[in-house]
Amino acid sequence: MSRLFVYSNRLPLGSNPSGGLVVALGKTMDRQGGVWVGAKLDETLCDNQTLHEYKGAAFERHALHLPPREYNDYYLGYANSVLWPLFHGRTDLLDVADGQLDAYTSVNRKMAEATRHLLKPDDVIWIHDYHFIPLAAELRVLGVSNPIGFFLHTPFPSSANVHALTHKDRLLDWLSAYDLVGLQTQRDVSALIEVCRTVFGGQMLSDGRIRCKGQDIRAASFPIGIDVEKFRAIAETCDTSGLNIDPQQKLMIGVDRLDYSKGLPHKFRGFQRYLQRHSGEGDRLTLLQIASPTRESVEAYQDIRKDLEQLTGEVNGAYAELGYIPIQYIHRAVPRDDIAGLYRRASIGLVTPLIDGMNLVAKEYVAAQDPDDPGVLVLSEAAGAAEQLKCGALIINPYDPSSVAGAIREAINMPLEERVARHHRMWNEISRRDVYWWTETFLEQLHRNARDRRDREASLQDLERALSS
Ligand code: ADQ
C-alpha cells in the first residue's frame, strides 16, 4: 500500500487540538500512519527556514520552521488577512499589504524544496487548506509526478469574491496542478464551476473535468466527518460532575473558535431575543459558550472578542438573577473529553456560523447525545453541515435573531418522540459518512484521477512519437 504524505499548515504537536482540520486528519493519520508536514513560527530564526522532525506520534511529523517576518507575512498576512476573509465572503475585512503574496508563494516554494527529499515514488500526497494552494504546482516544478490531491476545508468563494483577489489567474494555475480538488459540499463545487466559467472563461467537459484556458481542474465534494463511535464512547463515559454545573440547570451549548465566520455575536443576539420574548416561560436556560482563542494578533479577531465581551455583559446585566447566569462564556480551549461530556449534558446544541466549510461541532453534538433522550441541534443554514443534517436539525438563519430565538423555543419544548426521531436520522447520516469514509473516498478518487492523467499523458506521448516518426 502506498504511503500517505500529508501537508497542512498546522501539525498536531500539542495535547489538545482545537481546530477542525487537525482533529479530523489526526484520526486518519493515527489509523493509517504516514508522514505529516506542517509549518511553524520559530522566533529564534533570523532568516532561513529549517526542517525539524518531531518524534513521538504514530506517524512521522516534520515542521518547516520559519523566521517571524516570513511566517507572519505568509500566515497572518496573505493566508489569514486575505484568503480566509475572502473565502468566507468578508471582502470588507481584506487587508492587502505589500510583500504578503510574495511571502505566501515563497513559503510554498520553500516547503516543496525542503521536503522533496522525503518523498518516495509511491507516496500519495494530500495537501490541506488555503495556506498551501500553490504547493502542488511547486512540487510539479521539482519533477514530482505522484498523485497530488488538495482538500479545501473552508467554503469555495463565489466569483464576486474571487474578483477581489489580486493575481487571480494564479489560482487557476495552482488548482490545475492537482489530480483532485476536494471540497466540503455540493454548494462549493457549484461555486468552483461558476468561478471557472465566469472568471476564467472555462467549461465543463463530458468526463467532469473543468477546462479553463487549456488547463483542467478536477473537483468533487467530500463532506468531512468525525469518528462517530469514538466520540459517542467518550461522551458516554465522561463524568461532568466535577465541572460544577447545577444538575437542575437547562443547558444550551456552543463550541467555536473565536472567529468572525462563526456568528458568535449573532448567536448571543438570538439568545437575547429569546430571553426578551420567553424568559418567563418554563425552565431557565443557560447558554454555555466555549470559544477558543485564535489568530489573536489579527485586528478583526480582537474586534470580535471585544464585541462578545460587551454582549455577554449586556445580556447578563439584563437577565441574570441570584443563582442564574444566562450566558456563561469561557474564552479558552477545553479538554476534548470534557467537551464531549458537556455536549451530552446540554439539551440544545447551538451552531450559528454566517458561513462555514463544514462545522464539525454540529456533528460532534449529534454523536455525543444519548439516543434514548437526545438534545436538539439548532444549525445555521450557512454551515456546510446543513446539507447533511437538515434531516434532523432545526435550521436557522443566523442573521435573523427571531429565527434563532424561535428555534431555541421549539427545541426546548420538543417532545421526546420527535427528538429521538430527528436524532436517529442525523446519527445515520454522520455514521454513514464518518471521518474514515471521508479519507477513503477522497483517496480512491485521487488514485483514479491520477491513473487517468498518466494514461492521457502516455497516449499524448505515443501520438507525439507517431507524428514525429
Ligand atoms: P474550524 O473552523 O477550526 O476548521 P470546526 O469544524 O468548527 O473547525 O471544528 C472545530 C474543532 O475544534 C471541533 O472539533 C471542536 O470540538 C474543537 N474546538 C473548538 N473550540 C474548542 C475549544 N474551546 N476547546 C476545545 N476544542 C475546541 C475548518 C473549517 C470548518 C471545517 C473544519 C474541518 O473552518 O468549516 O469543519 O475545518 O474541515
Kindly state which CATH superfamily the domain 228-432 is placed in: Glycogen Phosphorylase B; (3.40.50.2000)
Cα distance between residue 167 and residue 134, in whole Å: 13
SS3 label, residue 87: helix
CB neighbours of 360 closer than 8 A, spacing ≥ 6? 20, 23, 24, 224, 226, 385
User: Angle at the Cα of 167 (from 130 to 124), degrees rounded to 5?
Assistant: 35
Atom of ligand 1 nearest to the CA of 384: 35
Q: How many CB atoms lie within 10 A of CB 373?
A: 12
According to the model, what pLDDT value does residue 353 have?
Answer: 98
**Using a 6 Å cutoff on CB, does residue 294 contact ligand 1?**
no
SS3 36: strand
Predicted model pTM:
0.96
Cell of 313: 455583559
Q: How far is the CA of 22 from the centre of ligand 1 (A)?
A: 9
| Grid cell at residue 70 | 516570513
Alpha helices per DSSP H over 60-99 = 68-71, 84-87
Model pLDDT for residues 277-301, shown as the tens digit of each residue: 998 888 899 999 999 887 777 777 8
* CA gap 440, 28 in Å, rounded: 9
Measure 374 CA to ligand 1 centroid, in angstroms. 22
**Active-site positions?**
153, 356
Round to whole Å and give the CA distance between 256 and 352. Answer: 10
Q: Do residues 329 and 305 lie in contact, with contact meaning Cβ atoms separated by under 8 Å?
A: no
Residues with pLDDT less than 50, the chain: none
Please tell me what DSSP assigns to residue 383.
B
Atom 38 (ligand 1) nearest CA: 153
106: Cβ contacts below 8 Å, ≥ 6 apart: 70, 74
Residue 407, all three cell numbers: 428555534
Same fold, 4-225+436-464 and 228-432: yes
- Dihedral of the CA atoms 92, 96, 100, 105 (nearest 10)? 70
In 116-244, where does DSSP find H-type helix? Answer: 135-141, 159-162, 168-176, 186-198, 228-237
3-state DSSP helix/strand/coil % of the chain, to nearest 5: 50, 20, 35
Residue indicated by cell numbers 469555495: 156
Instruction: Please give the Cα distance from 435 to 453 (Å, whole number).
Output: 27
Rounded Cα distance between 384 and 215, Å, is 28
- Asked whether 20 lines ligand 1 (CB < 6 A), one says yes
Domain residue ranges in the chain:
4-225+436-464, 228-432
pLDDT at 147: 98
- What separation, in Å, do the N-terminal and C-terminal C-alpha atoms of the chain show? 39
Give the atom of ligand 1 at the shortest distance from the alpha carbon of 155: 35
Given this model, what pLDDT does residue 18 score?
53
Task: Report yes or no: 7 and 138 within 8 Å, Cβ to Cβ.
Answer: no
Does ligand 1 come within 6 angstroms of the Cβ of 353? no
| DSSP line for 265-326 | HHHHHHHHHHHHHHTTSSS-EEEEEEEE---TTSHHHHHHHHHHHHHHHHHHHHH-BTTB-S
Q: How far is CA 82 from CA 38, 76, 138, 170, 302, in A?
A: 20, 9, 21, 15, 17
Q: Please tell me the predicted confidence (pLDDT) of residue 49.
A: 83
Q: Which of 70, 79, 65 is nearest to 131 (CA)?
A: 79
CA–centroid distance, 359 to ligand 1, in Å, is: 7
pLDDT score recorded for residue 15: 66
Q: Residues 6 or more apart from 273 whose CB is under 8 A from it?
A: 401, 402, 404, 405
* pLDDT at residue number 202: 93
Q: Is 357 helix (H, G, I), strand (E, B) or coil?
A: coil
The tens digit of pLDDT for each residue in 359-385 reads 999 999 999 999 999 999 999 999 999
Q: What architecture (CATH level 2) is domain 4-225+436-464?
A: 3-Layer(aba) Sandwich (3.40)
How high does pLDDT run on average in the chain? Answer: 93
Closest CA to 359 of 390, 386, 331: 386
pLDDT of amino acid 13: 86
Q: Using CA atoms, how far apart are residues 331 and 324, in angstroms rounded to an integer?
A: 20
* Ligand 1: centre distance to CA 452 (Å): 35
Whether ligand 1 lies within 6 angstroms of the CB of 288 is answered as no
Give the CA distances from residue 163 to residues 91, 148, 155, 199, 385, in Å, rounded to whole numbers and listed in that order. Answer: 10, 27, 16, 7, 27
pLDDT digits (tens, 9 = 90+) for 173-213: 999 999 999 999 999 999 999 999 999 999 999 888 999 98
Q: Ligand 1 pocket test: which of 185, 255, 334, 364 has the largest number of ligand atoms within 8 Å of its C-beta?
A: 255
